[in-house]
Amino acid sequence: MADLLVTEGLTKRYGGLVANDGVAMRLAAGEIRGLIGPNGAGKTTFVNVVTGIERPDAGEVKLGGAPITGLGAHAIAERGLVRSFQVARVFGNLTVHENLMVPYFASNRTHGTAGALARASELLKLSTLELMTHDLAKSLSGGQRMLLQACAGFMIPDVRVHVLDEPFAGINPVVKDTLIDLILHENRTHGAAFLIVSHEMEIIRRICPQVTIMIAGRVAAEGPLDEIARREDVITAYLGRSFQ
């Protein structure tokens, strides 16, 4: 399958700290990829640089063959690359339904609103947020906000890649399962690719055939999780070197 999202030599420095050091990665269309690594490995920096929240110091990002390096976040979203945040960024004083309509209207498509409304109610059903449609988003729990944030991303027309930063962190197991189902459903019905940053190895094993592991700002390995997890350097990075 053709590579949809490609990064080459992506580098980001904060003063003397090299957070991302020449990261090269390829994500195929329709793939669900896990991005793992110990804390401080540069996963979130990578996500920020790819999605236009921050500018890289060097390197290139391509989406479907076209360069998107250094474009603004909204321009990148328009081209079909959308992200979620570790702490769900929902609009607290808008209703759940309004939260879903913001990304749709922002795409400047004022025709086909009926379709968008249908899609919104489909997503609300899948995410079990249906009963809270007209509640303000600030009344939702942390997990429900995560679901809402993910759904808001799915409302943007023609998204090709969803980048989810720690979507499962700190949310209860039921909501976790709902979110997993939502991701799989979105992947199957719309063919959207996912790049999922997470520390939840069980979930990653379940839904990501391939994972990429980052260590100290670089891509250390790629492959199925169980294969990678046996590698010496990966174990060392996570657990430290033994005294032997």
Q: Which residues bind other proteins (CB under 8 A)?
A: 51, 53, 55, 72-74, 77-78, 82-83, 85, 87, 89-94, 98-99, 101-103, 105-107, 110, 138, 149, 152-153, 156
- Residue nearer to other proteins on the CB measure, 107 or 128: 107
Nearest approach in angstroms of CB 124 to other proteins is 17
Q: Which is nearer to other proteins, 37 or 103 (CB)?
A: 103
Q: For residue 37, which of 189, 195, 212 has the smallest C-alpha distance? A: 212
Please identify which residue in the block is written with the tokens 């999202």: 5
Please enumerate in sequence order all residues whose Cβ is within 8 A of that of 178, keeping only pairs 6 or more positions apart, or say none: 126, 127, 128, 147
Pick the closer one to other proteins by CB: 69 or 234: 69
Q: Pick left, alpha or beta for residue 17 (phi over 0 → left; psi -120 to 50 → alpha; otherwise beta).
A: beta
In the complex, minimum distance from the CB of residue 150 to other proteins, in angstroms, rounded to a whole number:
12
Least CB distance to other proteins at residue 56 (A)? 13
CB of 48 vs other proteins, minimal distance in Å: 10
Which helix (H) or strand (E) is 180 found in, with range?
helix 173-190
**Phi and psi dihedrals of 76, rounded to 5?**
-70, -40
Q: Which DSSP state fits 130?
A: G
For other proteins, the closer CB: 152 or 182: 152
